[in-house]
Amino acid sequence: MGVTNGKYDVDFSEEVNLSHFKLLRVVGRGAFGKVRIVERKDNKRLFALKYISKEECIRMEALRNIFRERSMLEELDHPLVCNLRFAFQDDDYMYMVMDLMYVCELIFLN
């Protein structure tokens, strides 16, 4: 559970790629890649960037799972969920930019 990095509008009409973000620290690692905090260069907003190795997904036969995850995240919009804001790819990785969630105790949500 967590709380988001603030409520704000995100312009979904523009094309976004990795060059739009300043890469900050790694906050998680998984079988296919990492999650790191990133800062949008034009407005200084913080997000979580999940980047997934295409090579590892293919090797581990997990492409269907990754596509399912992205599809589900595209449908979600809730204050207690890491909402997907942007998704893009390059030759080596798939990227999902999501709301940055801060950890909090469940008791504080009551």
Q: What is the pTM of this model?
A: 0.78
Would you give the distance in Å from CA 35 to the centre of its chain? 7
Dihedral sign from CA coordinates of 101, 105, 106, 109: negative
Give the tens place of pLDDT for each residue, 81-96.
788 999 999 999 999 9
Provide the annotated binding site for ATP: 50
**Considering just the CA atoms, what is the radius of gyration of the chain in Å?**
14
Query: pLDDT tens, position by position, for the chain (110 residues)?
Result: 334 444 455 555 678 999 999 999 999 998 888 999 999 999 999 999 999 999 988 888 888 888 898 888 888 888 777 889 999 999 999 999 999 887 653 445 55
Provide the annotated binding site: 50
Residue 28 parent element (H or E): strand 21-29
Would you give the distance in Å from CA 18 to the centre of its chain? 12
Position of tokens 């950890």?
Answer: 103
Domains and CATH numbers, the chain: 16-102 (3.30.200.20)
